[in-house]
Chain A
Amino acid sequence: MPEPESELSSREVEHVARLARLGITPEEVVRYRDQLRHILTAIDALKRADTSRVPATAHPLEERNVMREDKPEPSLPAEDVLKNAPSREGPYFKVKAIQE
């Protein structure tokens, strides 16, 4: 596992932005890199806590599996769901080609 204190690089910012499907300009890469380095330095305080015997909490719920009866119920009308679509064709969302 890489050491988190190794400074965040521009390449890592570009990589992470790509993973998040977030377009980012070269100026933004530098700005976010510097700001995130500053934030990560503050966050490094996390390592001070001894968690060697502590389980992780993913959510605070008392309930575990919440089940309901498997009976069909009406859905929203397709027209209501499609009314906000930036591009559509008939009863479908229209998207660009995935590959050129």
Chain B
Amino acid sequence: MSLFQKTIRELHQMLVDNEISSVELTESVLDQIAAVGEKTKAYLVVTRELALRQAKAADERLRAKRDVKPLTGIPIALKDVLCVRDVVSTAGSKILKGFSPPYSATVVERLEAEGAVFLGKTNCDEFAMGSSNENSGYRPVHNPWALDRVPGGSSGGSAAAVASGEAIGALGSDTGGSIRQPAALTGIVGFKPTYGRVSRYGLIAFASSLDQIGPMTRDVADSAVLLQAIAGHDPRDSTSSPRPVPDYLSTLRDGVKGMRLGVPKEYFVAGMEPAVEQAVRDAIRLLEQQGASIEEVSLPHSDVALPAYYIIAPAEASSNLARYDGVRYGYQAEGAKNLIEEYMLTRQQGFGPEVKRRIVLGTYALSSGYYDAYYLQAQKVRTLIIDDFRRAFEKVDALLGATSPTVAFPLGAKTQDPVAMYLNDIITIPANLGNVCGISVPCGLADGLPIGLQVIAPGFREEIALQVAYAFEAATDLRKLQSPLMRAAAA
């Protein structure tokens, strides 16, 4: 087995035992990027020199046994929405082409402090708006399980990198499912923490009341390790929570015996592929065999979560994206006669079609005469969704369902129909609106394409989501599943 196929935990042990160096490990991953990068198109920028420099520094730390952390020397990929000082960061958008941030995101600084190695910036849908990665301003990402299929989105580059051996772990961001859905479609573990658990400082904003950064990894234990490194209060983000961060590894293996797990009947939506439903129902049965009690619950407002999201997220985006005006950074159109025309041309030429669609939709929903009917109504529906979760969690410890109603679909299959594309996120969106946390863990294959089980836990109870996901993973041999691209390159 090549080094790039292993997990963070396995590699940490090998680094600590001096079996391998971080430089060797980093070179193994960089070689895999060179071998398959043009197939997946997972990265927008590979920071080879930075990675090798950080790997050397990590090796010194390991040699001296000084301040060695779980991520010291581990090669990690960063979604392009995360600012890294002096490394081009574009959020997958042409309007930020060449943008070199003057500071790093807090999560980036935390990983740096742990001694992690940065491989580069991963491709994503422009400003994280999309469920297939086809909205990247540069090029779509291809799924390592089937190159003619999408990897999901918007963190599709991070997902494809982890699934193809082009990174050991990665960070993504999730506004309506953008970590969990691509994780499900590429057979990896993706975790959206509770809003406020992880600092958003230095995250290029999409929808500020929903965005959250989280880990994308090969297994659940790695997810716990990566979350541990990035979670916690940050004085630079006043929306980050001062609640203490528990030790996620200490409860990881506690099992589900005696736990009450709820299955929301509304999550088996119309249009769900039979193979997905079957795999999820089998997974639920397996957790029951592990000692959990399973009960059906109802989240009655699930059907209005998607419409509420497609008002709230575009409304917040239309406001957040007002800053791209061609004055302080990024693209500036040529030939404008005055300032207003320069704004209009810069934004017309710099933004892609989906971003423009959402700016128009969001501005419309906030505009005079429509505010009450759309934006205010959506915010009230958000309250109903929060209440749905609160009531369900009075009865059960966690909720189970599919992550995505389908497996990875062919590139181009849904690009002409925005509404069909939006339906991909129908069972991930409620967790963002409801302020709870959700993890996707592989639960099977349908015709060689991965399926994800979603475990949703109450706000700030990330340890419960991890514990359930780990119990499921440990009871199967799915953890050993590898994409054809990873297997082929290692052979």
Q: Which residues of A contact B (CB under 8 A)?
A: 1-2, 4, 8, 12-13, 15-17, 19-25, 28, 32, 35-36, 38-39, 42-49, 51, 54-63, 66, 68, 76, 80-81, 83-87, 93, 95-100
Please tell me if the beta carbons of A45 and B327 are within 8 angstroms of each other in the complex: no
Please tell me if the beta carbons of A57 and B379 are within 8 angstroms of each other in the complex: yes
> Is B121 interfacial (CB-CB < 8 Å)?
no
B128-167 interface with A by 8 A CB criterion: none
Please tell me if the beta carbons of A16 and B380 are within 8 angstroms of each other in the complex: no
Binds A, one of B235-243, B279-287, B395-403: B235-243
| Per-residue A-contact encoding for B366-386, CB less than 8 Å = 1, 0 else | 010110111011111111101
Docked CA distance A23–B349 (Å): 8
Please tell me if the beta carbons of B311 and A21 are within 8 angstroms of each other in the complex: no
Docked CA distance A36–B238 (Å): 35
How many residues on chain B are close to A (CB under 8 Å)? Answer: 73
Please tell me if the beta carbons of A46 and B360 are within 8 angstroms of each other in the complex: no
Docked CA distance A85–B336 (Å): 17
| Per-residue A-contact encoding for B446-476, CB less than 8 Å = 1, 0 else | 0000000000000100000000000000000
> Is B339 interfacial (CB-CB < 8 Å)?
yes
Chain A residues within an 8 Å CB radius of B308: 46
Q: A35-B418, A83-B100 are in contact. Are A55 and B380 (CB under 8 A)?
A: yes
Please tell me if the beta carbons of B380 and A56 are within 8 angstroms of each other in the complex: yes
Residue of A nearest to B381 (CB): A49
Docked CA distance A86–B349 (Å): 15
- Interface residue from B325, B364, B384, B435 paired with A49 (Cβ < 8 Å): B384
Chain A residues within an 8 Å CB radius of B329: 84-86
Docked CA distance A21–B341 (Å): 8
Residue of A nearest to B382 (CB): A57
Please tell me if the beta carbons of B310 and A57 are within 8 angstroms of each other in the complex: no
Please tell me if the beta carbons of A76 and B363 are within 8 angstroms of each other in the complex: no
> Is B307 interfacial (CB-CB < 8 Å)?
yes
Please tell me if the beta carbons of A32 and B327 are within 8 angstroms of each other in the complex: no
Please tell me if the beta carbons of B326 and A86 are within 8 angstroms of each other in the complex: yes
- Interface residue from B341, B369, B374, B459 paired with A43 (Cβ < 8 Å): B374
Centre residue among A43, A51, A93 by max chain B CB count within 10 A = A43
Please tell me if the beta carbons of A20 and B359 are within 8 angstroms of each other in the complex: yes
The A interface is mostly helix, strand or loop, or mixed, namely loop
Docked CA distance A37–B327 (Å): 33
- Interface residue from B327, B344, B384, B435 paired with A85 (Cβ < 8 Å): B327
Docked CA distance A42–B374 (Å): 12
Residue of B nearest to A2 (CB): B369
- Interface residue from B241, B311, B344, B347 paired with A46 (Cβ < 8 Å): B311
Please tell me if the beta carbons of A46 and B383 are within 8 angstroms of each other in the complex: no
Chain A residues within an 8 Å CB radius of B239: 59, 61, 63
- Interface residue from A1, A25, A81, A98 paired with B338 (Cβ < 8 Å): A98
- Interface residue from B336, B364, B376, B419 paired with A12 (Cβ < 8 Å): B364
Question: A16 to nearest B CB, angstroms?
Answer: 5
Question: A86 to nearest B CB, angstroms?
Answer: 4
Please tell me if the beta carbons of A16 and B364 are within 8 angstroms of each other in the complex: yes
Docked CA distance A12–B303 (Å): 28
